[in-house]
Structure 1
Amino acid sequence: MHDLFVKFSILCCLVSYGESARILGVFPMSAGSHYILDYKLMKGLADAGHDVIMLTPYKQENPPKTKGNYTEIILDGFRESISAQHKNLDMFNMGKQNMAFMMSAFINMFAANINNTLSHPKVRALLSSNEKFDAVIVEFFMADIMKIFPEAFNCPMILLFSVGPNSWINPSVGNPQEISYARHLYSRGNNAVPMTFFERTINLFYHVFEYLFNNFYYFPLCDEILQKAYPGAPDTKNLASNVSLVLLNSHTSLYPAHPLVPNMVEIGGYHVDPPGKLPKDLQEFLDNAKDGAIYFSMGSNLKSKLMPAERKKMILNVLGRLKQKVVWKFEEELPEKPDNVLIKKWLPQQDILAHPNIKLFITHGGLLSTTETVYHGVPILAIPVFGDQPANAEKAQYAGYALKLGYHDDNFTEENFEKCILELLNNPKYRENAQRRSKLFHDRPMKPMDTAVYWVEYVIRNNGAKHLRVAGADQAWYEYYLVDVSLFLLACLVVVFEISKFLLKKVFLVVKSKLSPKQKLKTK
């Protein structure tokens, strides 16, 4: 009876918002992994009966059949422009760079993309139109300027963030910056173990550097781009005051526990679909893997063909000695490929991970890949390169379902590569931990997509849900961290000390004068 009541309550929540809302999704970023998240969310909202419009560089060749309306505004030329930029960009070498270089490189790359977005004829026509929207969803990834859209349409702003809570997104809604135990995105080390004094000092440095970098470089750059496109527009930092909801692509089965303010909601895994049917050749290849199979992919942004020849040869040497079959997502054929290795330019990753013969996933450690492997309970060998990949790999290793072997680590040798693979294949604890994490991943009151739909509808239903926004979101950093109060109290302490010192000195002199021997009478 209790289970029936719970199911009925959830169903009521899902259908309580009966009216169709008009929702604009602003996703100008040309990156395959990000597009997956963007499209899945908008399709999910359309499936729930809403009228969604998606601003994107990607075109769906087969538009989805949904209960609501799904419309695309295609940013023509964006994919070609970004592809041209990426053609000469070796992301394998980016991981060697320091934090300052990484941040400036990413910001400059995305600044060009944002500038092209605001100057695009379709965007200018949309922003100057009399269109009405109930909410605007913006992917928040170095795209603060995109907050101009909800400002222009005078409707609630919902941010979709492709990772978990961190210093990029926390200030938007006043979420605590737990510098003492939550490592910065660019920090290195085990993300779930309490930091040492030295590590906490370095972590503080990362946050201070990021704050200064944003205020003296990033935000002025954003304001320059925005004012050029739309003179008189509000400052970029002031656009943040309208954030009604943040949808985080995270979950506690993937991330260490973090505090979340009421209008921050975790929906990690909403992009994962139930397993589908594999192509015939892949199905037969995996079915015939009597000793199991390994899936190897470095994601959609990293091009494996750009690896140095000696690195590719080393990997092939190890894979060729394994008794397991290997499916490797690689952009071109390898002439010295061993017989147990199958090369494909594109692979249905989720469907492969669902195959019962898959024993190991060798991955770059991207969050989507990590999420999908936890969904299916498959252990991983993470070979992180840049961005959030090292942090994801460290979290997975600490959780016990992965080993990490950094692409740029000095110990990435043929011997260690093979040693890691064999350890993961032969030690059952990694699969057991992966299965345990998978159980945590699936143990939720609602499916991730249902959670996303519910909260988007909640914000619309409650006119922006301003009651969920904490006051700290509107405070300056020195107010939020009580720096002004601390300085005031310190100043008071100094004043009290000086006054006390002055009074004690006076009292001491008076007492001393009274206790001193009387002058001898002068003799006649």
Structure 2
Amino acid sequence: MKSFFALVLLVVVLHDSKCAKILGVFPIPVRSHYSLGNALMKGLAEHGHDVTIVTPYIDKNPPKKGSYRQIELTGFAEAHEKHRKNMKMFDMEDMNSFVSLPVFLSIATAGAELTLNHTNVQNLLHSGEKFDAVILPQFMNDAHKGFAAHFDAPLILLSPLGANTWVNMLVANPSPTSYVPDALLSLSSQMTFCDRLTNTVFQVYSHLLNHLLAFPKQEKLYNQYFPNNPPFYDVLYNTSIVLVNSHPSLSQPVPYVPNMIDIGGFHIKPAKTLPDDLQKFLDDSKEGVIYFSMGSNLRSAELPPEKRDVFLSTFAKMKMKILWKWEEDVLPGQPKNVKLGKWLPQQEILAHPNVKLFITHGGLLSTTETIYHGVPVLAIPIAGDQKLNAHRIVNEGFGLSLGYKEISEQTLTQKLDELLNNSKYAKNAKKRSEIFHDRLVGPMETAVYWVEYVIRHRGAPHLKVAGVDLPWYKYMLVDVVGVIFIALVFNSYLFYKITKKICSWFSKPKVQKVKRS
């Protein structure tokens, strides 16, 4: 009889986990961020869940399994594209991280309000619907955590940049500045004294900006749009799990608290069939192909003429074919060995055996995909975490990095010759790929399991460390250090006074007694 009831309970649990209603709010109108959120939510739908995603883009090929409802943030993509065109994206290479961080915070705050104020989001908030879990990207959008409290659902975060300052502070994850560089700094894990000093100062600076500037602004938005919710800071630190877009094959090993889960590479699916023209181009290129793409936000067509001409003159001298993601109809001075494409199926291209090298901006998604397929890299980082990724590429030996300002025909030719003629880069790339694929289960299966785990265990509070509930001065042991410092000062002072007193005794002149006659 007991075994019968156990079986019934198991069926109920499995049924509940397979029929969950899950809300994902992914409002950032950047294709790479959207790709991650869309991939996760589609994966959950394909595992039988009832999924709703708030998004600036509409997927024209929704999953056939499960339920996949898309709530479009109309106007977001168009506004971002207009703003992007007004910016000189390649000039961002010069931006100082200390200056860019408050700019990012300001932009993120404006974006958070636009999302909450959007008509379609307001309709959702007043719909009376219920959800079993709410998934958000963690990217300076803390007011959006109100969705979880509003729908009385566990909060799950997706960290698109791996473990970073914005995530670590919310789940009390340790991040030693001695060997864990901040995602926005151009540092490697092998830091000099000056690097460690810069890293420490920047992380303190980042914490101060968050607590003194970002969080108060986000709290104001939270109170405005979720007036009946619990206090902001109660919700801010109430994360059930963080799905981290990372893996030891992609980045350096760092400390994780129990509710941080690696799912790096979850967005990658097996390569599909290439379009006929690309298939023929790659198949016929027996001498090998270099694939060149600067991603979706950075665009090769916006390269300054002097930089563009460096690539053209260098490629024209090569026997290899070049497949270049070029976003315009015409490339002035296009060499015969260069094929263009406004949009190219990157994963399918990297999977082709004739692709010998990937020239990339070093974004995390592109880095992940090249590791997945085991292709060497020449990284030309511009902004964000790209410089950090470029350092890792060089440190792990499966590629080289070329600074944007350093691009010349000589430097580019030297880097390409080294990468194409030294077999160690291809061998190291294949080794990283082996490490990537050597997992107990795939990253998407891992993500789905942990989302269902949180739902089954009603938020899984047993995974949270006690540090989340401590005020910052207790977590950083400021009070303990303060008491020790005061004790040392007091004891030093006491020792000084005692020593001075003893010395004064011994230094007193002796008074000789004079005998009277």
The TM tier, using the shorter chain, reads over 0.9
1:203 is aligned to 199
Distance (Å, rounded) in 2 between the aligned partners of 1:334 and 1:519: 106
Contact 1:250 1:269 in 2 (8 A): yes
Secondary structure at the residue paired with 2:237? Answer: helix
Distance (Å, rounded) in 2 between the aligned partners of 1:478 and 1:458: 33
Distance (Å, rounded) in 1 between the aligned partners of 2:39 and 2:198: 37
Distance (Å, rounded) in 2 between the aligned partners of 1:405 and 1:490: 47
Determine which of 66, 72, 77 is the counterpart of 2:75: 77
> Deviation of residue 200 (structure 1)?
1.0
2:51 is aligned to 52
Structure 1 pair 16–502 and aligned structure 2 pair: CA distance change class (3 A)? farther
| Structure 2 unmatched runs, 5+ | 1-10
Determine which of 262, 272, 287 is the counterpart of 1:276: 272
1:3 is aligned to none
> Deviation of residue 350 (structure 1)?
0.2
Distance (Å, rounded) in 2 between the aligned partners of 1:16 and 1:439: 35
2:306 is aligned to 310
2:186 is aligned to 188
AA at the equivalent of 1:31: V
Structure 1 pair 376–15 and aligned structure 2 pair: CA distance change class (3 A)? farther
Contact 1:163 1:248 in 2 (8 A): yes
1:63 is aligned to 62
AA at the equivalent of 1:49: G
Alignment of 1:282-297 (within 5 A): 282-297=278-293
Distance (Å, rounded) in 1 between the aligned partners of 2:497 and 2:58: 77
Secondary structure at the residue paired with 1:365? Answer: coil
> Deviation of residue 112 (structure 1)?
2.4
> Deviation of residue 319 (structure 1)?
1.0
1:136 is aligned to 134
Deviations 1:333-384 (A, max 9, x none): 2131111111110010000000110000010000000000000000011011
> Deviation of residue 298 (structure 1)?
0.3
Distance (Å, rounded) in 2 between the aligned partners of 1:56 and 1:383: 30
Contact 1:95 1:387 in 2 (8 A): no
Secondary structure at the residue paired with 2:23? Answer: strand
1:376 is aligned to 373
Deviations 1:159-185 (A, max 9, x none): 001011121211111110211111112
Distance (Å, rounded) in 2 between the aligned partners of 1:355 and 1:337: 24
AA at the equivalent of 1:266: D
Deviations 1:190-239 (A, max 9, x none): x232x222221111111122122222322233234334444576665443
Q: Does 1:226 align with 2:222?
A: yes
Distance (Å, rounded) in 1 between the aligned partners of 2:276 and 2:199: 50
Distance (Å, rounded) in 1 between the aligned partners of 2:403 and 2:507: 73
Determine which of 174, 177, 188 is the counterpart of 2:175: 177
Distance (Å, rounded) in 2 between the aligned partners of 1:219 and 1:19: 36
> Deviation of residue 467 (structure 1)?
0.8
Deviations 1:375-433 (A, max 9, x none): 000001101111101110110111000110021x3x32111111111211111110000
Structure 2-normalised TM-score? Answer: 0.93
Q: Does 1:125 align with 2:123?
A: yes
Contact 2:150 2:229 in 1 (8 A): no
Distance (Å, rounded) in 2 between the aligned partners of 1:523 and 1:222: 92
1:353 is aligned to 350
Deviations 1:47-96 (A, max 9, x none): 11111111111112232201x21111111221122222112122111121
1:363 is aligned to 360
Distance (Å, rounded) in 2 between the aligned partners of 1:179 and 1:343: 43
AA at the equivalent of 2:493: E
Distance (Å, rounded) in 2 between the aligned partners of 1:520 and 1:135: 95
Distance (Å, rounded) in 2 between the aligned partners of 1:91 and 1:204: 28
Query: Among the aligned pairs, what percent are the same residue?
Result: 47
Contact 1:94 1:102 in 2 (8 A): no
Determine which of 431, 450, 468 is the counterpart of 2:445: 450
Secondary structure at the residue paired with 1:169? Answer: helix
Distance (Å, rounded) in 2 between the aligned partners of 1:35 and 1:380: 24
Deviations 1:444-470 (A, max 9, x none): 111000100111111111111111111
2:482 is aligned to 487
> Deviation of residue 312 (structure 1)?
1.0
Structure 1 pair 232–48 and aligned structure 2 pair: CA distance change class (3 A)? closer
Structure 1-normalised TM-score? Answer: 0.92
Q: How many residues align?
A: 505
> Deviation of residue 99 (structure 1)?
1.3
Q: Does 1:244 align with 2:237?
A: no
2:491 is aligned to 496
Determine which of 95, 101, 114 is the counterpart of 1:103: 101
Secondary structure at the residue paired with 1:247? Answer: strand
Contact 1:294 1:324 in 2 (8 A): yes
1:459 is aligned to 454
Structure 1 pair 216–353 and aligned structure 2 pair: CA distance change class (3 A)? same
Distance (Å, rounded) in 2 between the aligned partners of 1:372 and 1:156: 31
Q: Which range moved further: 349-358 or 122-131?
A: 122-131
Deviations 1:477-507 (A, max 9, x none): 3222212101101111222333344445555
> Deviation of residue 522 (structure 1)?
6.1
Q: Which range moved further: 32-41 or 207-216?
A: 207-216
| Structure 1 unmatched runs, 5+ | 1-11
Distance (Å, rounded) in 1 between the aligned partners of 2:470 and 2:391: 33
Determine which of 333, 343, 346 is the counterpart of 1:336: 333
Determine which of 376, 397, 401 is the counterpart of 2:398: 401
Contact 2:109 2:214 in 1 (8 A): no
2:162 is aligned to 164
Secondary structure at the residue paired with 2:135? Answer: strand
Alignment of 1:4-43 (within 5 A): 18-43=17-42
Structure 1 pair 301–235 and aligned structure 2 pair: CA distance change class (3 A)? farther
Distance (Å, rounded) in 1 between the aligned partners of 2:225 and 2:153: 21
> Deviation of residue 110 (structure 1)?
2.4
1:88 is aligned to 86
Distance (Å, rounded) in 1 between the aligned partners of 2:87 and 2:242: 31
Distance (Å, rounded) in 1 between the aligned partners of 2:325 and 2:174: 40
